[in-house]
A and B are shown apart, each in its own frame.
Chain A
């Protein structure tokens, strides 16, 4: 068993020498989470805005459901996506289980409610302020959604970052649907879990440090965005 100091030294060595195995895992993690956030944004932004603008039966229920889904445990999402993608599942024919695509799908399911719920709240507040002016200018609903999303862009960036933070940190879903296969579906979080249980703390710590730096970066970006929002009140 290594001492913690040894593990730190080894981790730093891996990072400084840009160890191929470590880089591969980091790049795959970024690819999966960024793709998932992009797809979730394409679904969640208009969905959240539409929920804010349109009146329909069950609208309140939809808003509550969306908020509840924000806190859905990733392992449960992983299980559901696993069942959908497994050979006997409805999407089994595509053979996606244990692939990066499966992990992207699972993370889309996790992140979309976060982005949609935050978007709905933000757009609803903006709509209260803008509604009469936009109606007066003859702005139709579709155009109104685009306008509100654009005007809320700085705050919405925070929602996207929250989604990315959640996607990059979760382990349960990608573990189940990805399988943590070396060189194929090994992500930062799943690798940390595995390497820690094997006692190889160097790689686990190296990845852990990178995850923390990423998380700090995300929060730093959120602060910068808040400043920008202050300058464009």
Chain B
């Protein structure tokens, strides 16, 4: 089996830079003038209360929506190659009406992998995510936790340089949440940059190397995780950490 995460060729697409990125919809500013740089390596957690704009920010980064002002810039030239270096896992896993293995195979086929290589990679990634026994089950009858693990397996199989995760454990029970977090750690160790949103402080403490704290569509605080949790620089972040932030 090819070693997942070790095969990327060509120059890195990181760092990702957001320059004055804003997003307005329905006459309302949802994301306001965000400037950040996301470098390879540290796990970046986008933290904030519900409605802070975390999911929007992730979608702007991944290119699912376009900013109404400002620029999203990856290193290297724009084009389809950029998308091929990224993957995203959504809050509610979206499974095609085919088997678990078929869902991964579909994604790999879109990347132009041949049949034998697809088969190898599917088997390997199912093994790594503990889903081998479910390979031939219809994906949509799997439990919520299994579907989310399968979504992670599908993303991992693509060997992305950056993996965006939008509250991947928001609707899961504690055991399934733990399984997903362990997988995220494994994917990180395989060399993939993790950018993940959460409103769960415990999860942010467990996973974050770097925090982007968002509130009302504005980037309130950004920096290494340890100092942020030890002593946030802004009253909003302090209130959020104390569970007092209202929205």
Q: What distance in Å separates the Cβ of B201 from its nearest Cβ neighbour in chain A?
A: 27
From 130 to 162 in chain A, residues with beta carbon under 8 angstroms from any chain B beta carbon are 130, 132-133, 135-139, 143, 147, 150-151, 153
* Other-chain contact of A232, B80, B83, B87, B138 (Cβ < 8 Å): B138
Query: How many chain A residues touch B (Cβ–Cβ < 8 Å)?
Result: 17
CA of A153 to CA of B98 in the docked complex: distance in angstroms?
11
Given the known interface contacts A138-B83, A138-B84, A233-B141, the answer about A130 and B94 at a Cβ–Cβ threshold of 8 Å is: yes
Residues of B contacting A133 with CB < 8 Å? 88, 90, 94
Residues of A contacting B111 with CB < 8 Å? 138
The reply to whether A143 and B64 form a contact with Cβ atoms under 8 Å apart is no
CA of A105 to CA of B138 in the docked complex: distance in angstroms?
40
Q: What distance in Å separates the Cβ of B87 from its nearest Cβ neighbour in chain A?
A: 7
CA of A151 to CA of B139 in the docked complex: distance in angstroms?
12
Contact size class for B?
Answer: 20 to 34
Whether B119 sits at the interface, judged by CB under 8 Å, is no
The reply to whether A151 and B96 form a contact with Cβ atoms under 8 Å apart is yes
CA of A231 to CA of B106 in the docked complex: distance in angstroms?
21
Q: What distance in Å separates the Cβ of A118 from its nearest Cβ neighbour in chain B?
A: 18
Q: What distance in Å separates the Cβ of A49 from its nearest Cβ neighbour in chain B?
A: 15
From 16 to 44 in chain A, residues with beta carbon under 8 angstroms from any chain B beta carbon are none
From 84 to 143 in chain B, residues with beta carbon under 8 angstroms from any chain A beta carbon are 84, 86-88, 90, 94, 96-98, 106-107, 110-111, 138, 140-141
The reply to whether B138 and A137 form a contact with Cβ atoms under 8 Å apart is no
CA of A232 to CA of B88 in the docked complex: distance in angstroms?
24
* Other-chain contact of B110, A129, A138, A151, A153 (Cβ < 8 Å): A138
The reply to whether B80 and A138 form a contact with Cβ atoms under 8 Å apart is yes
CA of A130 to CA of B139 in the docked complex: distance in angstroms?
14
* Other-chain contact of A137, B59, B97, B107, B141 (Cβ < 8 Å): B107
Residues of A contacting B106 with CB < 8 Å? 137, 147
Residue of A nearest to B82 (CB): A138
The reply to whether A232 and B90 form a contact with Cβ atoms under 8 Å apart is no
The reply to whether A139 and B110 form a contact with Cβ atoms under 8 Å apart is yes
The reply to whether A129 and B94 form a contact with Cβ atoms under 8 Å apart is yes
Residues of A contacting B17 with CB < 8 Å? none
Residues of B contacting A132 with CB < 8 Å? 59, 64, 88, 90, 94
Residues of B contacting A130 with CB < 8 Å? 94, 96
The reply to whether B97 and A151 form a contact with Cβ atoms under 8 Å apart is yes
CA of A231 to CA of B111 in the docked complex: distance in angstroms?
30
The reply to whether B64 and A136 form a contact with Cβ atoms under 8 Å apart is yes
Whether B73 sits at the interface, judged by CB under 8 Å, is no
Q: What distance in Å separates the Cβ of B103 from its nearest Cβ neighbour in chain A?
A: 10
4 tightest CB-CB pairs across the interface, nearest first?
Answer: A133-B94, A136-B88, A151-B97, A138-B83
A-binding residues in B (CB < 8 A): 59, 62, 64, 80, 83-84, 86-88, 90, 94, 96-98, 106-107, 110-111, 138, 140-141, 158
27 cross-chain CB contacts under 8 A: A129-B94, A130-B94, A132-B94, A133-B88, A133-B90, A133-B94, A136-B62, A136-B64, A136-B83, A136-B87, A137-B87, A137-B106, A137-B107, A137-B110, A138-B80, A138-B110, A147-B106, A150-B97, A151-B96, A151-B98, A153-B97, A231-B138, A231-B141, A232-B97, A232-B138, A232-B140, A233-B140
B-binding residues in A (CB < 8 A): 129-130, 132-133, 135-139, 143, 147, 150-151, 153, 231-233
